[in-house]
Chains A and B, each alone.
Chain A
């Protein structure tokens, strides 16, 4: 383990920025944190987390896939991909680091998504432990430890210092490049902070939320549960929950006719939308109840079924904080889930 003083952070960011683009949470003009490309003068936000998750780095909201140009009877297909360069994402929370694993299971399995893979290969993740989790946090429910965030490098921030530990070869290589700005140290301060975090986690309002009653094999039992109607009755059908979610991965592919040619792009889609998965026969989920159910069944039943029991929620709490009607996965898990949540 290595450490540096918080005062030297600017020098470290400057160094990292010499060999890779660096992104980190910075407070915007609305006072809320958003991942921003680092430049001299920008300050790392104190916020627990960003409004939008870091999934954009690997699975951007909009992305060109290819372009077509026609001349006469010929059609030219243009690969619009740009070769990625290495980039570093600093300050990622444990929940969001776990979300990359959820996305990997989707995009890196067959059919292998080379657009996503390209970015994943070039992204170096520096995570940070959460010293002040929020009331909306419930990562522990999904077995995530905010005191031991994963990623290529884990970082712990104390009053005056930052502690660094690499978890991968890529992380170790990066730490080597800033070795002269950090010093070797013991793990006592970090261990003390971890104990503190564990104590806080036990006090969180959602500390006892469990996945009891959910998981692989529950489709038959839960699909027609009478509570879906009540839970979804006030849902506006907006896409807020899906677009702030670090694990929602649905997208649509569309063609944009520029007049000179066609650009094929993909963009995030939302199961909450009336035209989601619209086919020639129409949208298979006729009312908001079915669309609402889809989101939670996907995260808590279908995904675990296809991924060895792993849930596709990481408990980041963004949907709890942002839903216009304050309906969310925690309420759904408690209302429909097993008796452990009573």
Chain B
């Protein structure tokens, strides 16, 4: 159950609009159903009271929207940030991607977000309403007379089950209680992949990535992907392509992207959330994070604004390529 309520957020937003602190509010907008929440900019109290929502389906990370929205609007934007969103927020600031002075950030605690596809696996299709009920969701479908009680922790998104932090690393103001960095199990699955033989690992990724439809949703939602023009969209780059023409190219797209965001990926998990084919893309990024931790010492992108990632910060103690190569044998 979320510990701050929709009303608290609405009151905060309305108050900050009324006293002129902010010109508009970046928030989650009610959908057609109880789970299809859309990011939206609210400019009036009326809009906020009618359509602003805060529930177990507000997974979207708003940090990346600030890049475009701070340019689009004069005056400050109020943005609500869950703990994991604040890491992306800091990382974007580190990369000078938006003007901090144009943002008023309110940190809000998050109890984890539900994954609608997990709910549908349990309750089936035909959901007509979902209501929060303590640690449970009460799911009504057109096929069942009684609502189905689903324990929220059973249907949490993968990234929330392996939540790395309940602590906000950036905000102007905090609503509710502050949490702690969590010693999560998020690298366990990476360790399992590392324990495979190269052939097994290849087969694993082949199977997963062969489902890719090259919709680019992973890239377009990624807060670390804010190039003005992506090399894969640039007809002059020589690597632009709109389709998974062959399996080599498809793997190349995802691996190149993972390399590009290495050291900058905060592990927010948006890539896996939006993938229409349920490809566990976060595992590629986590592999890089795990390696960076092991090679250069613990490093969490976005934990501190302005921090230099080990991969862009040369020191004489850095690992030699040969050491990385030797380590490969132990993983083989």
Q: Do A and B bind each other?
A: yes
Chain A residues close to B by CB (< 8 Å) = 28-32, 34, 48, 51-52, 61-62, 132-136, 200, 203-206, 230, 233-234, 236-240, 242-244, 252, 254, 256, 265, 267-270, 273-275, 278, 320, 322, 324-328, 330-331, 334
Count B interface residues, CB 8 Å: 47
- Contact A243 to B36, CB < 8 A, known contacts A134-B125, A267-B242, A268-B242: no
B215 with A243: CB separation less than 8 A: yes
Report the stretch among B191-199, B260-268, B272-280, B320-328 that lies at the interface.
B272-280
A238 with B220: CB separation less than 8 A: yes
- Contact A234 to B125, CB < 8 A, known contacts A240-B217, A320-B36: no
B37 with A238: CB separation less than 8 A: no
Instruction: Given contacts A243-B214, A324-B60, list 14 more A-B pairs with CB under 8 A.
Output: A29-B208, A132-B124, A132-B125, A133-B126, A200-B143, A204-B126, A234-B39, A236-B274, A239-B242, A240-B276, A267-B242, A268-B243, A273-B216, A320-B36
Chain A residues within an 8 Å CB radius of B40: 230, 233-234
Chain B residues within an 8 Å CB radius of A132: 124-126, 143
> Which residue of the partner chain B has the closest CB to A230?
B40
With beta carbons under 8 angstroms apart, the residue of A254, A322, A324, A334 that contacts B221 is A324
Chain A residues within an 8 Å CB radius of B216: 238-239, 273
A239 with B215: CB separation less than 8 A: yes
Chain B residues within an 8 Å CB radius of A330: 32
Chain A residues within an 8 Å CB radius of B234: 275
A203 with B142: CB separation less than 8 A: yes
A selection of 29 A-B contacts at a CB cut-off of 8 Å is A30-B208, A30-B211, A30-B277, A51-B277, A61-B244, A135-B126, A135-B127, A200-B126, A200-B142, A200-B143, A203-B142, A205-B32, A206-B32, A236-B220, A237-B220, A238-B215, A238-B274, A239-B216, A239-B242, A240-B213, A240-B217, A240-B276, A243-B214, A267-B243, A269-B242, A273-B233, A275-B240, A278-B235, A320-B36
Chain B residues close to A by CB (< 8 Å) = 31-33, 36-41, 60, 65, 121, 124-128, 141-143, 207-208, 211, 213-217, 219-221, 229, 233-235, 240-245, 273-274, 276-279
- Contact A236 to B125, CB < 8 A, known contacts A34-B211, A51-B277, A326-B38: no
A205 with B33: CB separation less than 8 A: yes
- Contact A62 to B274, CB < 8 A, known contacts A203-B142, A205-B33: no
Least Cβ–Cβ distance between A118 and chain B, in angstroms: 20
B278 with A30: CB separation less than 8 A: yes
With beta carbons under 8 angstroms apart, the residue of B208, B221, B243 that contacts A62 is B243
B244 with A62: CB separation less than 8 A: yes
Chain A residues within an 8 Å CB radius of B243: 61-62, 267-268
Distance between Cα atoms of A34 and B278 in the complex (Å): 12
